[in-house]
Each structure stands twice: as C-alpha cells, then as structure tokens.
Structure 1
Amino acid sequence: MRVFLIAGEASGDKLGAALMAGLKSLTEVEFIGVGGPLMQAEGMQSNFPMDELSVMGIAEVLPKYRHLKRRMEETSQAVLKAQPDVLITIDSPDFCLRVAARVKEQSNIRTVHYVAPTVWAWRAGRAAKMAKKIDHVLALFPFEPPYMQAEGMECDFVGHPVATEPVADPAAAQAFRAANGIGDKPLLMLLPGSRRGEVSRLAPIFGQTLQTVLAARPELKLVIPTTANVTDLVREQVSDWPVKPLVLSPQGQDKDAYLAEKRACFAAADAALAASGTVSLELAATNTPMVIAYDMNWLSRQIIGRMLKVDTVTLVNLVSDTRAVPEFIGADCKPSKIAAGLLEVLDNPGAQLDAMRVTMERLGRGGEAPGLRAARAVLRGLGQGAH
C-alpha cells in the first residue's frame, strides 16, 4: 500500500507520525510526501522542508506566495506521478486543500483530510467547498462528524491526542514546587499564547488583571510556561508587573526535559488564566481549573463576532456540553471582569472537575490511541477492513 501524506506545521507532523505508526502496525505500507522530523522518523523522506509551509497571516504569506504556489503545483504533480492508494492531508488547509483540489481535478485518487474545519463555530460553508475535493475526514472532536457527513463526506471521530499524552504525577508536581521555592503557596499559571501577536495583546491585560487578584490574594505565586519564539517577549512584557512571575523557557534546555518541567508545572498549578485554544484541553488533562480570556484587533473582533455560531469558544465547554469554564472573549476581555472570574475559580476550584473529566473521556482517554484509530479509519475507507 502506498500513502502520500502532507503536513505543514509541527502539530500536523505529530498527528501524521502517530497515524503512520498506526498504519505500519496494521499493514505493509510505503510513505511519501511532505512532513517534519517526526514523520521522517516514521519512514518518510520529505520532498522538501515542511518549515516552508509553516507561515501564518497575510503579511507573512504575501512575500512567499509565489514560492508556495510553486510548491503546491510541485506537490500536486508528485501525487499524480506516485498514484498512491490514498492522499492524506493534515490540517494546514490553505495549502493542503488546494493540493487536494488539483489532484481531484486530474484523478480519482482517494483523499482524506485529518482535522475537520471548525464549521460548527464559524464559516459553515467551508464544509460544502471541502466536499468537492475530500472524500473522508478524520475528526478530533466527537461532535464534528455530522457537519461533514451532511455535505456528503465520510467522517470518523478518531480521538484527540491530548487525551493520551502523558501527565505529571503528584510527586513531579511537588518536586516542581520545591525546586522553585513555591512550597504550599497557591500557584497561578498564566498562558498568554504562543504567538507574538497574542502575547503582545494579552500580557498587558493579564498584568492589569493581576493587580486586582493579588490585592485579594497577596500570597499568590505566578508562573508562565513559554515557547522559544515568545520567551523574550514575555519577559519584556512582565518586567513591570507588581509580582515577577517565574518564566519557564525551552531556550538552552533539552526538549524532553523542558516538556517534563512544563507537565509538572501544569500539575502543580492551582488554577490558570489562559488564552483561548487547545491549551484548555491540556489544562483539563491535568484537572487544572481555568479562566479563558482572549481578544483580537478591532476589525477581526467585529467580523468574527458576527460570524460566530456558538456561545462559547472554550473547547472544554463545547466537548463537555457545559459552560463550566468562565471565558472573557472580545469586548468582555476586560481586567475587572477577568479578575472577578479568576477569584471565583480560586475560591471554588472544584466546580470544573466534572466537566474536565467528561471532556477527557469524550476525547478518548482510556481508549485506543488516536493514531491507531485514524489508521483503522483510513483502511476501512479503502475497503481493507478494521483489522
């Protein structure tokens, strides 16, 4: 069996590698395509560096548009030449779905897209457009298949990777507290995003929020885990905060050592104030109560606010079908409102526990690994059974 895969960023590389491992455990398979180090470690030689596709935003894409367009054409032709049993595109829809469209125009090669678009939240028309070039969707969330199936695509919920990723045990959490002089004091984790624009917008709001929170809870300790690309910006943003947070950085650290430290930090925290996104699921995995806050520029806020189809953007709320996690989005992303919500969570940290447990169960905790479930779904789609 020959499989052509395309991933365009680190999260897709991780999903792709797990899927490849699953396929290898079930059948004889040859991999070709575009991927990062994790997919290459599973046996694929990337046609070109995946990093070339890891660009976001109009300002970043425009200077590279001609090069990206050339890579789209090269990749489409590579798929057509290889004549694989299946083309699997992983997230990165701007690139991947254009390649799938070109392939469909010139062949009947089966196409699978891994990660459903968030049509349940906004821009529902994307599903109908996607159906013209995609046969089968692998979904991360259990509520997504009906949206894809309604447009004529096959869709399988295969589970979310966060449900099977390792979490720190209580001993690791205590060791983290001891190593950083926290002891038994309450610890608040702050997660203002992993992109520079997010950090620049949210860190000042978080700082103002903390003035109120610290006045009520002067014993509170603060910690901010960062990614390498924003560490220096975070340190700059927090330099005038009334209490200096501990800033965790992967810079100069072994990757695995940093990930272990970050997991211990999540487990050690009593509560978190976080940007909207997948991080809410990471917090749920460690039973860390949270408040979600997010804002964007004025124009984006107006446009997205009018298009939004759901009353919450927090994934824990959506998956658990509750509204247990307080969120302050857009016009509500105000320090006074966030502070009140955070103090309430610190006073009653157990209020979210049931919603977090349900979330992890529904995302596949305790079940088969998502990569293997995805592999079985791909094979079923090819008529090769569940094995």
Structure 2
Amino acid sequence: MTSNPTQHQFALVAGEASGDLLASLLLDGLQARWPDMRSVGIGGPRMLAHGFESWWPQEKLAVRGYIEVLRHYAEIAGIRRQLKARLLKEWPQLFIGVDAPDFNLDLEAGLRSRGMKTVHFVCPSIWAWRADRADKIRAAADHVLCIFPFEPALLEKLGIAASYVGHPIANVVPMVPDRAAARSALGIQPDVPVVALLPGSRRSELRYLASRFFAAAALMQRARPEIQFVAPAIPALRAEVEQMLKASPMAGKVQLLDGQSHVALAACDATLIASGTATLEAALFKRPMVIAYNMHSLSWRLMQRQQLQPWVGLPNILCGEFVVPELLQDAASPEALAEATLAWLSSPDKVAALEQRFATMHEELRRDTPTLCADAIQKVLEG
C-alpha cells in the first residue's frame, strides 16, 4: 500500500458501450450516496457526463474474440500495467470493474492482493460458458453485483459474496416503448415497416458482421421495397460503418444514426442484431429479433468448446429456450439473416406472443439498481 485511501474516490473500468451505460447508472447511485465523490479510470461518454475522469479512451479495450484480442494484446496489457501502477499510487477507496472480465478480473486480483477493496459489476457468464472463471472471480472480487436474479445463489455455492441489483437497463427502457415518438424523431412514417441493423459496438464485430447485415438488408429490400432501415453507430466507429455502407448494395439506403440505439429499437418492427448486451435491450423494447454472430474461425472453435448451454443470445438464455433465432458463424449468411428477419414481419401472432414473454422478463429485471449498488458498495467499504 503506497498511500492512504482517498475518501470518496472510486476507480472504474468499463470497456465498451454497454459497460459505459451500466457504469453510468452505477455512478448515479454512488453520487446520490456520496455527492463529493470523484471517479477515475477508463470509461465512455455516459460516464464522462457524470464528471468521470477517463485516463485512456474506452475504445482501446473494446475488442472481442481470442484472435482479435491477441492482435491487440501488447497494447491492452500495457494499459492494464500502467493503470494498476497509477491506481496503487493514488489508492482510491474502491475499484469497480464493470463487465470486461478478461481485462478487469486480473486487474482486480492484482489490486486486491495489495489490500485494495474491489467489486465486480456484472457476474461473468460462468453459467453459460467458461465455468473455470469461478476461481478467478473468487480471487478478484470482494463482492459481485449481479444483474440476473439466479446468479447470487450460484456464486454463494462457489464461496463468492454477491448481491442481485436488477438489470440497470430494465429501468432505462419503458415498459411500453413509444414507437410513434421514436419514428417521429427519426423522420419515419408511422405505417412503414422498419428494420434496425445493429452489427455491434466493437471494431472486431463490425469487421465480421456489418457487411453481412448490409447484404441481408439488400435482400430484404428486394423482397419488400417498402422496408426502411436504420443503423445506430457509436460515434467513435461511425466513419468505419459509413465506409462499409458505401461499399455495400445499401449505399444511400440506410439511415445511419449517431448512437441512438434505443431510439432505433423503439422505432423498429424487428431487428437484426449482434449477440451481446444489445439483444437484451431489444428484448426490453419488446422487439422481435434475429441474433447473429461471426468471428475468426479459431476463436469460434475455442468458444464452442467452453459453451455450457445451447443458447448464445441473452433473451434465449433467460427464457430457457429458442424464443428468437440465432444464426451463428457459417449459418449467418446474408440469405439466412434476411429470411429469418422477414419472417417476423409476416408473423403478427408470433410477435404478439413474444412481446408478452419479453414483458414478463422486463418485470423480473426491474429493480432500483443505483440504490442497491450503493447499498452493496457501502457494506464492502464498511468491511
């Protein structure tokens, strides 16, 4: 320990757009509990809006897949070393790793071994794949904040202290989204079919999925010319998405948005979407979806070996069955993606049943997350 703890200073690391949203809601609770607090580390625009001081750009950590991480390993490992050294020097009251387990768990373990208190926000999906991570979580975190109701009991059996705090996004998304207002905001007529394209928030995801999604959109438009397409892009990657769009058959035919993924989901009739947190957001918006993913073939083979459940998409995992299609790796062809998405647009009865299923899920996930997070963190601080 190099210095005394700084009162009401919290360090956070959120490695991607979804983590930025989760962390911003966590900051709501911390700032309500400790109004004089200072927050530092690595974060995105939503965290910055809370006065967060980001020492590195969040995009540096937004890499997914074994092979993709290897390409950036030296830079990411260097950031983690420098960050650890700076945190040990400044000694915040608490370190909170927000998701990004490959980056955060090792960092947390290193800090905790030196005596710093640590919390991990979002239980790594050891119930879905990589069960071997349980030992790493136990070494890394004094406490885990869980966003799914079944997780604390599972962690307790493994000797890991945890609390269920609800899913923060469940409180951000209204129970009945205002489709008309969202369409008005985007300048879209109320009666036209709309498909939202969400090929991911990481550069590696866009590389593997964006062109497929745009090719699928071209096939959908050929089958139903009246369909309008919207595609949210995080501002840091918008230029790359624009480039891919210009090189596709959909050049000039997709409304590209700066962020605004929630507006796009509220406005659409169906979404073609990359597997990840965004699929849960789509479910909370009660939207039918086709979940897709594609990655480097070696990354895919390694991931398959560690998969514990037949589902990859969060809506299917939470429902315990395939309530929406998953088209992964070679199955994610433009033709298959287009066919599965179009099927939702011509199946109003199935859509209505899915909306009811998602409404039930939404109720189960709604909690006062900022306050519950602050309660759990206060208990950790009080030891």
Give the TM-score taking structure 2 as reference length.
0.82
C-alpha separation between the residues in 2 aligned to 1:39 and 1:233? 24
Determine which of 110, 126, 142 is the counterpart of 1:119: 126
C-alpha separation between the residues in 1 aligned to 2:192 and 2:126? 43
Shift of residue 213, structure 1, vs aligned partner: 3.1
C-alpha separation between the residues in 1 aligned to 2:190 and 2:50? 42
Task: Flag the 1:246–1:149 CA change in 2: closer, same or farther, 3 A.
Answer: same
Indicate the SS of the match to 2:279.
Answer: helix
Determine which of 18, 25, 48 is the counterpart of 1:18: 25
Q: Which residue number in structure 1 is paired with residue 330 of structure 2?
A: 331
Matched, 1:205 2:212: yes
Matches within 5 A, 1:44-59: 46=53, 49-51=55-57, 54-55=60-61, 56=63, 57-59=69-71
Task: Flag the 1:106–1:160 CA change in 2: closer, same or farther, 3 A.
Answer: same
Matched, 1:188 2:187: no
Shift of residue 131, structure 1, vs aligned partner: 0.5
The one-character-per-residue Cα deviations of 1:346-379 (angstroms, maximum 9, x if unpaired) are 1113242122212212221xx42x1111111223
C-alpha separation between the residues in 1 aligned to 2:151 and 2:122? 10
Letter in 2 for 1:311: P
C-alpha separation between the residues in 1 aligned to 2:37 and 2:276? 34
Task: Flag the 1:235–1:41 CA change in 2: closer, same or farther, 3 A.
Answer: closer
C-alpha separation between the residues in 1 aligned to 2:312 and 2:30? 33
Shift of residue 98, structure 1, vs aligned partner: 3.1
Q: Is the contact between residue 287 and residue 353 of structure 1 (CA under 8 Å) also seen in structure 2?
A: yes
C-alpha separation between the residues in 1 aligned to 2:141 and 2:335? 46
Please list every run of 5 or more consecutive structure 2 residues that lacks an aligned counterpart in the other structure: 1-6, 64-68
Q: Which residue number in structure 2 is paired with residue 269 of structure 1?
A: 268
Task: Flag the 1:92–1:75 CA change in 2: closer, same or farther, 3 A.
Answer: farther
Please list every run of 5 or more consecutive structure 1 residues that lacks an aligned counterpart in the other structure: 251-257
Task: Flag the 1:118–1:176 CA change in 2: closer, same or farther, 3 A.
Answer: same
Matches within 5 A, 1:335-354: 335-348=334-347, 349-354=351-356
Task: Flag the 1:269–1:301 CA change in 2: closer, same or farther, 3 A.
Answer: same
C-alpha separation between the residues in 1 aligned to 2:341 and 2:22? 33
The one-character-per-residue Cα deviations of 1:112-151 (angstroms, maximum 9, x if unpaired) are 2112112122211111122023221001222322332222
Q: Which residue number in structure 2 is paired with residue 253 of structure 1?
A: none
Matches within 5 A, 1:366-377: 367-368=367-368, 370-377=369-376
Q: Which residue number in structure 2 is paired with residue 6 of structure 1?
A: 12
Indicate the SS of the match to 2:110.
Answer: helix
Task: Flag the 1:284–1:62 CA change in 2: closer, same or farther, 3 A.
Answer: same
Shift of residue 17, structure 1, vs aligned partner: 4.2
Q: Which residue number in structure 2 is paired with residue 218 of structure 1?
A: 225
C-alpha separation between the residues in 2 aligned to 1:230 and 1:31? 29
Matched, 1:245 2:253: yes
Task: Flag the 1:269–1:42 CA change in 2: closer, same or farther, 3 A.
Answer: closer
Give the percent of matched residue pairs that are identical in Structure 1 and Structure 2.
Answer: 31
C-alpha separation between the residues in 1 aligned to 2:335 and 2:161? 46
Letter in 2 for 1:76: L
C-alpha separation between the residues in 1 aligned to 2:30 and 2:59? 25
Taking only aligned residues, the RMSD between alpha carbons, in angstroms, comes to 3.0
Shift of residue 190, structure 1, vs aligned partner: 1.3
Shift of residue 77, structure 1, vs aligned partner: 4.0
Task: Flag the 1:219–1:128 CA change in 2: closer, same or farther, 3 A.
Answer: same
Shift of residue 71, structure 1, vs aligned partner: 2.7
Larger Rg: 1
Matches within 5 A, 1:1-387: 2=8, 4-9=10-15, 11-26=18-33, 30-31=37-38, 33-36=40-43, 46=53, 49-51=55-57, 54-55=60-61, 56=63, 57-63=69-75, 65-66=77-78, 68-79=80-91, 84=93, 86-107=94-115, 109-166=116-173, 169-176=178-185, 179-180=187-188, 182-239=189-246, 240-241=248-249, 244-250=252-258, 259=260, 262-348=261-347, 349-364=351-366, 367-368=367-368, 370-382=369-381
Moved more, 121-130 or 334-343: 334-343
Letter in 2 for 1:241: P
C-alpha separation between the residues in 2 aligned to 1:137 and 1:54? 25
Q: Is the contact between residue 14 and residue 97 of structure 2 (CA under 8 Å) also seen in structure 1?
A: no
Indicate the SS of the match to 2:308.
Answer: coil
The one-character-per-residue Cα deviations of 1:198-234 (angstroms, maximum 9, x if unpaired) are 2232233224434543343232222222222333333
Moved more, 152-161 or 142-151: 142-151
C-alpha separation between the residues in 1 aligned to 2:133 and 2:280? 25
Task: Flag the 1:43–1:339 CA change in 2: closer, same or farther, 3 A.
Answer: closer
Task: Flag the 1:176–1:23 CA change in 2: closer, same or farther, 3 A.
Answer: closer
C-alpha separation between the residues in 1 aligned to 2:74 and 2:42? 23
Letter in 2 for 1:74: R
Give the TM-score taking structure 1 as reference length.
0.81
C-alpha separation between the residues in 2 aligned to 1:233 and 1:193? 12
C-alpha separation between the residues in 1 aligned to 2:21 and 2:112? 26
Indicate the SS of the match to 1:193.
Answer: coil
Aligned length: 363
Shift of residue 94, structure 1, vs aligned partner: 4.2
Q: Is the contact between residue 17 and residue 42 of structure 1 (CA under 8 Å) also seen in structure 2?
A: yes
Moved more, 151-160 or 15-24: 15-24
C-alpha separation between the residues in 2 aligned to 1:204 and 1:63? 27
Shift of residue 197, structure 1, vs aligned partner: 2.8
C-alpha separation between the residues in 2 aligned to 1:242 and 1:42? 37
